[in-house]
Structure 1
Amino acid sequence: MSALDTFRHTRIPLAHGTGAIPAVGFGTLIPDREKGRAAIKKALEVGFLHLDAAEAYRNEDVVGDVIKEAIDNGVVRREDLFVTTKLWNNNHRPERVKPALEASLRRLRIDYADAYLIHTPFAFAPGDDQYPKGADGGPLYDKGITLLDTWRAMESLVDEGLAKVIGLSDVKLEAVKEIVANARIKPAIVQVESHPYLPEWELLEFCKANGVVLLAFAPLGHGMEPRVPDDPVLKTIAARIGETPAHVALAWAVQRGTAFLTTSTNPAHIRENFEISPLPPEALQEIREGITLNDLRLNDVVHTGLPGFIPRDNRK
């Protein structure tokens, strides 16, 4: 395997000797089912071994069909794949956690999840309604359950072999600290929005100190304004080393010790997002010192439990 292949196939060890997560991952939040099917198939063909799914995406069955087809056709082996899925907010009650994962596994057509994450720290009213609403039109929260209550049920999934590791998503540092301090089985992964405009250095440092992998979504800013690939620091580095600004941002994510997820339905972009190359050490320092915008959150899910990228005029 060449040095480039080694970099693209970087794996980050997970806590408790439970294996390693491929740093370069593909997110499956693609609303159009046929486009999603084609994109996930292409991602596996070009070399992605890490697929990120969720019950909230309503397409785990599509992901499962592609996984089975790829395994049957010899494109990939199940033991080489890392499949993540997530517990949605309306299933936070402990008695609902295991049935939720079992349903996800049936849709994904796999026997276990490599990682199972609490999608957000917000518990919604239990039931079949994915987005229950209160009288004010906002989310109907379940005040009778805590994140730690849900976490205890998540730990049982590891005991039963239904999930290799468990983790958190769309969460702030304070909640991560609470779970790490009180958990019997500590989080192996924390998935949050992170990119050069939201580097989350404090969270990353805490995660590294506690053996937790930070998994970044929207590593290129999800096409929102201001666009991460248009940053002058990234563009200068890219021109100097003969890469694209997007490649610079993705390589930066891996080299600072995080895993990342990209999503695309464009076959060329899917391949480009996998075929990244390492940056020279000085470029990492340039990015850290040269990009002064470092608190631009593009997705408000950490405040409400409702995923959604924020129009520029509505950001605080």
Structure 2
Amino acid sequence: MTTPDTLRDTRIPLAHGSGALPAVGFGTLIPDPLATRQAVKAALETGFRHLDGAERYRNETAVGDGMQDAFRAGTVRREDVFVTTKLWNTNHRPERVKPALEASLRRLQLDEIDCYLIHTPFAFQPGDEQDPRDARGQVIYDPAVTLVETWHAMERLVDDGLSRAIGLSDITLEKLREIVAAARIKPAVVQVESHPYLPEWELLEFCRTHGIVLQAFAPLGHGLEPKLLDDAVITAIAQRVLKTPAQVALAWAVQRGTAFLTTSTKPPRIRENFDISALPEDAMQEMRDRITTNVRFNSVVTTGVPGFIPGTR
């Protein structure tokens, strides 16, 4: 009798929060609300137990509707789903942090969130305009608040029982060190772009040392050039283990101790991204030794302006 592969069911206990993060996560950066609702429902039916959203995606209501569809259908219970959302750049001032989360909870139809992330370390001019620009089209930043001040406001959300854990997204190692040094409640999760072309080994080691889960977005390279899924090392391993290149890249992410997020509106692709199996150790070593391409696809870490969000205005 064969032992079932449990890689896709991996949960990583949070050292600085309650609960455990499912390593295989579903991202909800989907522009169309109806497609979002259907994709969330399909992801939960497939077996995904972590949903990642954000105020900035402008579709939290649809994510909440998709979850409620699944709850009513008996597909899954609320307590079995780990839900993350994010504080947007225009809400970094401490007095805006709690109202921002409360608004997200109303849209998501939840009483509490499992993890709340600061979407980027950059504070934008506060207000209702999510992408404030000056007359020259330049982003208007907010010099009146520091990331540490925002973090302390995030800590109070845990005290108030609104979020079970807190973390950061689109952060550099330098900025993360600053927050870890100043934090009363340490970050539980750090979400950054990471894939075989951007393994972030130094950041991962720092996270391991401090009990922080590193979660990868764009784990498949987001379909941009150079195409990760066409890489010769990855495609050769895929042929050897009878999996797709995407499944190889995603298995690599979990086996090295990180979590990941994938996004799709297509049920077959959603199922493919969930159906991962452990790679042989020699394949893991081969990916570390033989993949030499190094590229970052998203410049958000230098500007605070997300590179993958389609324009909707």
SS at match of 2:276: coil
Q: Give matches, 1:137-176, under 5 Å.
A: 137-176=137-176
SS at match of 1:190: strand
Shift of 1:39: 1.1
Contact 1:44/1:75 (<8 A) preserved: yes
Task: Give the counterpart letter for 1:139 in structure 2.
Answer: V
Q: Give matches, 1:71-90, under 5 Å.
A: 71-90=71-90
Name the CA distance, whole Å, in 2 between partners of 1:100 and 1:73.
Answer: 30
Name the CA distance, whole Å, in 1 between partners of 2:63 and 2:17.
Answer: 27
Q: Give matches, 1:187-226, under 5 Å.
A: 187-226=187-226
**CA 1:25–1:4 in 2, change beyond 3 Å: closer, same or farther?**
farther
Contact 1:298/1:309 (<8 A) preserved: no
**CA 1:57–1:309 in 2, change beyond 3 Å: closer, same or farther?**
closer
Match in the other structure for 2:240: 240
Name the CA distance, whole Å, in 1 between partners of 2:9 and 2:308.
Answer: 29
Contact 2:23/2:259 (<8 A) preserved: yes
Contact 1:90/1:124 (<8 A) preserved: yes
Match in the other structure for 1:38: 38
Give the stretch that moved more between structures: 136-145 or 97-106. 136-145
Match in the other structure for 1:308: 307
Shift of 1:4: 4.1
Contact 1:4/1:277 (<8 A) preserved: no
Name the CA distance, whole Å, in 1 between partners of 2:71 and 2:256.
Answer: 32
Shift of 1:5: 5.2
Residues 1:182 and 2:190 are matched in the alignment: no
Contact 2:16/2:165 (<8 A) preserved: no
Give the stretch that moved more between structures: 8-17 or 76-85. 8-17
Match in the other structure for 2:256: 256
Shift of 1:219: 0.3
Q: Give matches, 1:49-68, under 5 Å.
A: 49-68=49-68
Name the CA distance, whole Å, in 1 between partners of 2:175 and 2:76.
Answer: 36
Shift of 1:53: 0.4
Give the stretch that moved more between structures: 202-211 or 28-37. 28-37
**CA 1:306–1:109 in 2, change beyond 3 Å: closer, same or farther?**
same
Shift of 1:136: 3.0
SS at match of 1:116: strand
Shift of 1:19: 1.5
Contact 1:24/1:48 (<8 A) preserved: yes
Task: Give the counterpart letter for 2:114 in structure 1.
Answer: D
Name the CA distance, whole Å, in 1 between partners of 2:5 and 2:48.
Answer: 12
Shift of 1:298: 0.3
Name the CA distance, whole Å, in 1 between partners of 2:155 and 2:221.
Answer: 32
Name the CA distance, whole Å, in 2 between partners of 1:102 and 1:205.
Answer: 34
SS at match of 2:174: helix
**CA 1:139–1:4 in 2, change beyond 3 Å: closer, same or farther?**
farther
Task: Give the counterpart letter for 1:96 in structure 2.
Answer: R
Name the CA distance, whole Å, in 2 between partners of 1:49 and 1:309.
Answer: 23
Contact 1:24/1:274 (<8 A) preserved: yes
Shift of 1:309: 4.4
Shift of 1:241: 1.2
Name the CA distance, whole Å, in 2 between partners of 1:259 and 1:135.
Answer: 40
Task: Give the counterpart letter for 1:203 in structure 2.
Answer: L
Name the CA distance, whole Å, in 2 between partners of 1:33 and 1:72.
Answer: 19
Q: How many residues in Structure 1 have an aligned counterpart in Structure 2?
A: 308
User: For structure 1, which runs of at least 5 residues remain unmatched after alignment?
Assistant: 311-316
Name the CA distance, whole Å, in 2 between partners of 1:22 and 1:3.
Answer: 21
Shift of 1:244: 1.1
Name the CA distance, whole Å, in 2 between partners of 1:146 and 1:113.
Answer: 24
Name the CA distance, whole Å, in 2 between partners of 1:27 and 1:216.
Answer: 11
Task: Give the counterpart letter for 1:298 in structure 2.
Answer: F
Q: Give matches, 1:223-302, under 5 Å.
A: 223-294=223-294, 296-302=295-301
Shift of 1:6: 2.2
Q: What value does the CA root-mean-square deviation take over the aligned residues?
A: 1.2
Name the CA distance, whole Å, in 2 between partners of 1:222 and 1:69.
Answer: 28
**CA 1:217–1:3 in 2, change beyond 3 Å: closer, same or farther?**
farther
TM-score by length of 2: 0.96
Name the CA distance, whole Å, in 1 between partners of 2:18 and 2:117.
Answer: 15
Give the stretch that moved more between structures: 194-203 or 30-39. 30-39
Q: Percent identity among equivalent residues?
A: 69
Task: Give the counterpart letter for 1:113 in structure 2.
Answer: I
Contact 2:17/2:188 (<8 A) preserved: no
TM-score by length of 1: 0.95
Name the CA distance, whole Å, in 1 between partners of 2:223 and 2:299.
Answer: 16
Name the CA distance, whole Å, in 1 between partners of 2:3 and 2:98.
Answer: 41
